[in-house]
Amino acid sequence: MKKWCFAIAASVSLLSLAGCGAPGGDTTASSNKGSDAGIGNSRLQTVLDRGSLICGVDGGIPGFSFVENGEYSGLDVDTCKAVAAALFDDPTKVEYRDLDSTERFEALKGGEVDMLARNTTWTISRDTSVGMEFAPVTFYDGQGMLVREASGITELKDFEGKSVCVETGTTTELNLTDQMRQLGVNFTPQTFQDADAAYAAYEAGSCEGMTSDKSQLVARRSTLTNPDEHVLLEVTMSKEPLGPLTINNDSAWFDTVKWVTYALFQAEEFGLTSANVEAAVNSEDPNIKRFVGAEGTLGSDMGLPNDFALRAVKHVGNYGEIYERNLGEGSVFKLPRGLNAQWSEGGLIYSPPFR
């Protein structure tokens, strides 16, 4: 009897202590309490209190998220860095979690990560029934087709009687069949379980075309023996808008991720880069002054530092810089901007006004 009592007593006291926080704990988080943003219960407050952002990434997609020189890099990673820079003025205050495609939404729902920047296509079901909230698209991908330049194939119709390598069980395969049936082209799909095998077969010449997401085709092309002999067709077979996302029903946090992303777009439109953004506080243009937080209360109204946009751009660069560094001319991929150009240059990158 006595022993049991003490066992119960000990476990009760353990439970009572489990909830206590460390007295001398890390208190570097700058608590920027919003005036009326209602961030008390928001993930935003959690992140600010913690003093670092936990960002779910893939970790294994060339150009988007990978490790180089002992650091995470890539377009998705830079999105995480921008949010951390906006909140903490320090792009290194991010913890990355590698998530695979099956667990990414669960990890967000369970609160293991604050946001996802993990090559996730914005679809209606993910936005509604899965319960996600999609921030602006940071990369408009689409299914493309890689062919040998010497083969003379310039459009999908030229595949009459030829074969295409494709990964099996993907939407890619279904899209390909749909497109070809629409065009009435008779072709042979060669399906592979594994991407490496599919590209190896394509390189060995067992099929005339190789289809996958364009960004992946470009990344893979650079690993082929003679990359210059291969070209991407102009055609786009599906829409794959990729962007960061947060959990549903948390407006303050969603707004944070959304407007930090827009800030990257808007900075490019304003011509603000990581090099000149700090000088912009002295700009004559009231729009720019508002944007960098030298005027108005755009940031503090959201519960963020007023100069959140300046911080993000200063540390990570504007969207154009991020793109060029990871996928464009500054990278091995040399992927043209295409749909990812600013709206003023014929692309889809468009930020609502900052005012």
The residues binding another protein (CB under 8 A) are 1-2, 5-6, 8-10, 12-14, 16-19, 21-26, 46, 59-63, 65-68, 70-73, 95-100, 103, 106-107, 109-112, 196, 219-220, 222-223, 331-333
DSSP 193: S
Beta pairing partners, 349:
342
Exposure string of 244-276, with b = 16+ CB inside 10 Å and e = fewer, is bbbbeebbbbbbbbbbbbbbbbbbbbbebbbee
Which lies closer to another protein via its Cβ, residue 113 or residue 176? 113
If you search the block for the tokens 């963020």, which residue do you land on?
304
CB of 59 to another protein, least distance (A): 5
Distance of CA 83 to the CA centre of its chain: 12
The C-alpha atoms of residue 65 and residue 211 are separated, in whole angstroms, by 22
At closest approach, how far in Å is the CB of 33 from another protein? 20
**Between 1 and 124, CB nearer to another protein:** 1
Amino acid at site 281: V
Measured from the CB atom, the residue of 10 and 279 that comes closer to another protein is: 10
Least distance from another protein to the Cβ atom of residue 106, Å: 4
Question: In the complex with another protein, which residue's Cβ is closer, 177 or 222?
Answer: 222
Q: Which is nearer to another protein, 71 or 149 (CB)?
A: 71
**DSSP 8-class letter at 349:** B
Determine the Cα–Cα distance for residues 91 and 52; give it in Å rounded to an integer.
10
As measured in angstroms, the least distance from the Cβ of 103 to another protein is 5
User: In the bound complex, what is the minimum distance in angstroms from residue 200's beta carbon to another protein?
Assistant: 11
